[in-house]
A and B are shown apart, each in its own frame.
Chain A
Amino acid sequence: PTAREGITRHAATNHGQRRAKAWRPVEGLNCQFSVRRSARDITNMSQQAANGLPCRGKVLNLDNMNPNVRRVEYAVRGAIVQRALQIDKELKEGVKKPFTEVIKANIGDAHAMGQKPITFLRQVLALCAYPDLLDDNKFPDDSKQRARRILEACGGHSIGAYSSSQGIECIRQDVARYIEKRDDGISSDPDNIYLATGASDAIVTMLKLLVCGKGRDRTGVMISIPQYPLYSAALADLAAVQINYYLDEDKCWSLDIAELKRAVTAARQHCNPRVICIINPGNPTGQVQSRQCIEDVIRFAKEEHLFLMADEVYQDNVYAEGCKFHSFKRVLFEMGPEYSTTVEMASFHSTSKCYMGECGFRGGYMEVINMDPEVKAQLTKLVSVRLCPPVPGQALLDLVVNPPQPDEPSYDKFMKERTAVLAALAEKAGLTEQIFNTVPGITCNPVQGAMYTFPRITLPQKAIDKAKAEGQVPDMFYCMKLLEEEGICLVPGSGFGQREGTFHFRMTILPPTEKLKFVLQKISDFHIRFTQEFS
């Protein structure tokens, strides 16, 4: 290795180790922490004793903080992203690197990757923020009309007023109508809609409601592996039992009922499985579930008496030919009253993904179906403690579920912008799969939907050994090296979960086409170099 490589590698591993230590779960590290702490306490003590204060450590320290919080991990913003931010800063300070910018392909953050907001959505938001603009003739009439309608539904006609905790009523009505249209007329009751601070908020709230019991009666929640780490993080925080079911990588990350059965049966030995979570289209795996598969899952949930949570935030992000988004709710109702009147379900949607990519506004909703009315009252009470979801996000959600109609002035522009975004994503999905599959040692399933690819990477044994020797997970070692050498920030597969002995990374397909090509090329080159270096 050259001197430069030596230095960067050293920096990377040092950093990775420190982070891993600071964030790793409790197990096995107490001893280290205690030793370190007591050494520091001694210093503190002597200082404090001189000051006449009690000679004890902090009121709140790593050993006496909430142990559940310590076990929370969230790879999408974990060690590697921290390091990326640091490198960004170093670049700004003029530190020389083998690259000129850090490309963050770690998170589904469309606008940060250059996607432009939809004009109509932002016009209405500006009108809502500053209603004086309603007199401005630069704004199309339909945007003004939407803004007026939203403002009329706000206390004092201001988006600065709290809304009802469940969300503004007329927006919940619009959401219900949107769902009915999407699901070909299956009815949706606005009372079953809860607006939320992004889908994450609603998912955590729903999980929170479901958790109870102790020991072997503790609630177990089935989640896919690979999974979106919000789920594992929330379950750790709630001290619920995480039950893994593995997606079938060889069959395009599809869901296999036998695997669900295996997982639930095994889990029943040590906890009380009550919930199954599905992400469709898949994150990080990009698969789109078939109608048949959804039916099977619903049947399984009913047989096993599980509450069904359907994370459908990528419902507009379907690219592959022959694939189509089927909502769990629609399939449930098409299966007849035996299912549609019994299976309890919550479905989640968001303003952050699809064609709008408005992550910063934290808009989202959930629809609950067949929920016990007493529990629903408890849910309403629970969300009231946080007063209300951000009103600008609620307004944005209203526009997403009630976009310009064919006879309205903004329709053409809206459709043009929307189609352009979705077509570009489809193109990039194809491109990503294609290029990765030309690289020996990288295999990649088609990106049928969502905004990520989750390719499998072959790591040489020497690299695995080296990573382990440095106390790192092998794919973290790989991604950290990629970041240091190429300035590309991905998330290691271990952050999402993967079958033992396999390695992956998650990469968004969001960078503009030209940049994406560049990124794909860089990763391909890096992978070949990496493989050689450790062979």
Chain B
Amino acid sequence: MSATRMQWLSPRNLRLLNPGRNESLRRGGSGCRSLTLPLSPGRALSGPSATRRGLPKEKMTENRAPPRAKVLTIDTMNPTVRKVEYAVRGPIVQRALELERELSEGMKKPFVEVIKANIGDAHAMGQQPITFFRQVLALCSYPELLNDSTFPEDAKSRARRILQSCGGNSMGSYSASQGIDAVRQDVARYIERRDGGVPCDPDNVYLTTGASDGIVTMLKLLVCGEGATRTGVMISIPQYPLYSAALAELAAVQVNYYLNEEKCWSMDLGELQRSLEEARRHCNPRALCVINPGNPTGQVQSRQCIEDVIRFAAKERLFLMADEVYQDNVYADGCQFHSFKKVLFDMGPEYSDAVELASFHSTSKCYMGECGFRGGYMEIINMDEEVKAQLTKLVSVRLCPPVPGQALMDLVVNPPQPGEPSHDKFIKERTATLSALAEKAELTEQVLNTVPGISCNPVQGAMYSFPRITIPEKAVKEATDKGQQPDMFYCMKLLEETGICLVPGSGFGQREGTHHFRMTILPPKDKLTILLNKVKEFHQRFTQQYS
């Protein structure tokens, strides 16, 4: 939005910019007042301010408790919230929880347990926490343990350092809203090490409540305009549904670009260009989101591809958002994680001084899988100083990210060093987790590709497989008759028959007419083998049943 445009909008109009474009409510017509309409027949004659007052007073006293509708109903709630969808915890997961309850109540099912392969929740799938991390967290929680000789010295010295940077030496005090200074410094050093020395300023690092929080905050900053000037945000399809959910809530325009399934879910510049040009006809595309390694698609982007994307963002003047929470999760031979920041700086000052970028990381994935702590950070590059001040102000309203999560983030970016007592154990645990994941990535691809009607790209990275499934025409029809997406129908049936909980591809987006599901590769190997075989048998059964 231009400066002149901002000027003629009065403050009051500005306040009303956000609430969603041309919102038409799902039922019952034309606005928030629709529900009170049938209750107050005299309303049509009275002026607008009277209708806002709701029912006439006399009516209330007559009936004592008049049968008024609720203040807050599905028709009078925030319409942008209604449009939010989040498949990873959607109806299929609700049903899985129900089944679990039924099982525990002794109900008979064709399976003995529900296996939740719907979400990247490593510990829930049996992965053990890294000992060093948990030792330091215990020390930080209950500092009397610092006198306990059973804890290694390096764990104690980390804990002391973290506590010293907390107000009153307690994790129970608020931190700075941007995150604890010392932790941000450690994050900056980690990034520098990772990126072969490209400098990182701790002032550009914001600690967050998981990466999700950072992503939503960044999107919120970016959204403005109305109608054809409303901010558009380019996201990959398939995408991680946090993006579509956040955009719906912010009433921003979702601009889809499709990944190329035939080329291992790679990103295609022609497709980016197509999508952008179409979007420019009805909105103002200002941001491009990239997830690398990919969720749900598991691809790892080549250096060349990242360069192309950066060039595209520079040319088209897009703010780049790089979701890099799976940066340690790269399994395939010949694949390597390249950070957007590193590539940006390798491309020289023409790009590294100009392209605005935010990169996100988290404690929830990689080898640690500590989802429950809600730790994360974002690094912003080339952000306008005034906008940065606004960002700092915005995050201050929520006071601070959870301090235990910040402490954990510190350990992730500053793990035991060679020569420290915990180093060997740490490396052993880390390597065990990552190599088990690599093995499971391969196993998954291999087994699924033996099933006629399932085809699966290699899981190069991250923790998911997103195979394509062929659903017979009869099944598609039955699903459509039921008002269900065919892959939801498929996954729901799989859940009811086998107890396996996956997420239908439609929750992530997919090319029209194709069907997929997302499955994590996190269950322990023996369990994963059983799971894959069950999916295999189910798919064959399903195909026969509907042929």
User: Is this pair of chains taken from one and the same complex?
Assistant: yes
Say whether A360 contacts B15, CB under 8 Å: no
Q: Pick the contact of A66 from B81, B134, B224, B287 — CB < 8 Å?
A: B224
Determine if B350 and A51 form an interchain contact, defined as CB atoms under 8 angstroms apart.
yes
In chain B between 118 and 166, which residues have their CB closer than 8 angstroms to a CB of chain A? 119, 121-129, 134-135, 137-139, 141-142, 145, 148, 150, 166
Q: How far is the CA of A358 from the CA of B221 in the complex (A)?
A: 30
Contact between chains at A60 and B356 (CB < 8 Å): yes
7 tightest A-B contacts by CB?
Answer: A155-B124, A112-B167, A391-B372, A360-B403, A126-B142, A130-B138, A34-B3
CB contact between A272 and one of B32, B150, B172, B390 (< 8 Å): that residue: B32
Contacts of B175 in A (CB 8 A): 360
Interface residues on A, range: 35 or more
Collect the chain B residues with CB atoms within 8 Å of residue A107's CB: 174
Contact of A72 among B16, B73, B394 (CB under 8 A): B394
A212 at the interface (CB under 8 A from B): yes
Known contacts A74-B396, A197-B209; A111/B15 CB under 8 A: no
Residue of A nearest to B374 (CB): A390
Tell me whether A372 and B60 are in contact in the complex, defined as CB-CB below 8 angstroms, given that A359-B173, A392-B372 are known contacts: no
With A25-B11, A109-B167, A374-B73 known, 9 other A-B pairs at CB within 8 A are A64-B2, A117-B172, A156-B125, A307-B71, A360-B172, A385-B249, A386-B212, A388-B371, A392-B373
Q: Is A305 a contact of B68 with CB atoms below 8 Å?
A: yes
A391-431 residues at the B interface, CB under 8 angstroms: 391-393
- Would you call A439 an interface residue if the criterion is a C-beta within 8 Å of the partner chain's C-beta atoms? no
Q: Which residues of B contact A67 (CB under 8 A)?
A: 6, 14, 17-18, 224
A6 to B1 CA separation, bound complex (whole angstroms): 42
Q: Are B123 and A155 in contact (CB under 8 A)?
A: yes
Q: Does B70 contact A (CB under 8 A)?
A: yes
B274 within 8 A of A: no
A241–B129 alpha-carbon span in the complex (Å): 47
- Among A53, A76, A123, max chain B CB count under 10 A is at A53
How distant is the Cα of A70 from the Cα of B9 in the complex, in angstroms?
A: 15
Cβ-neighbour of B72 out of A27, A58, A77, A344 (below 8 A): A344
Contact of A158 with B123 in the complex, beta carbons under 8 Å = yes
A338 and B71 alpha carbons, distance in the complex (Å): 16
B33 cross-chain contacts in A, Cβ below 8 A = 217
CB pair A268 B77 closer than 8 Å = no
Number of A-B contacts (CB under 8 A): 381
Whether a CB of chain B sits under 8 angstroms from the CB of A164 is yes
B137 touching A129 by the CB < 8 A rule?
A: yes
- Is B74 positioned at the interface, with any CB of A under 8 Å from its CB? yes
In contact, B81 and A61 (Cβ under 8 angstroms): no
6 A-B pairs in the complex with CB atoms less than 8 angstroms apart:
A68-B18, A130-B134, A158-B124, A213-B19, A239-B15, A360-B166
> Shortest distance in angstroms between B159's beta carbon and chain A's nearest beta carbon?
11
A54–B3 CA distance with the chains assembled, in angstroms = 19
The reply to whether A156 and B11 contact each other, CB–CB distance below 8 Å, is no
User: Quick one: which of B54, B119, B170 contacts A360, CB cutoff 8 A?
Assistant: B170
Digitize A161-176: 1 where CB-to-B-CB distance is under 8 Å, 0 elsewhere: 1111100000000000
Q: Is B11 a contact partner of A390 (Cβ separation < 8 A)?
A: no
Q: What sequence of 0s and 1s flags, for each residue 25-47 of chain B, a beta carbon within 8 Å of any chain A beta carbon?
A: 00000011100000000000000
A71 to B170 CA separation, bound complex (whole angstroms): 33
B38 CB to nearest A CB, Å: 16
Report A-chain residues with C-beta under 8 Å of the C-beta of B370: 160
A216 CA to B88 CA in the complex, in Å? Answer: 37
Whether, in the assembled complex, A48 has its beta carbon less than 8 Å from a beta carbon of chain B, the answer is yes
With A and B bound together, what is the CA distance between A231 and B59 in angstroms?
A: 33
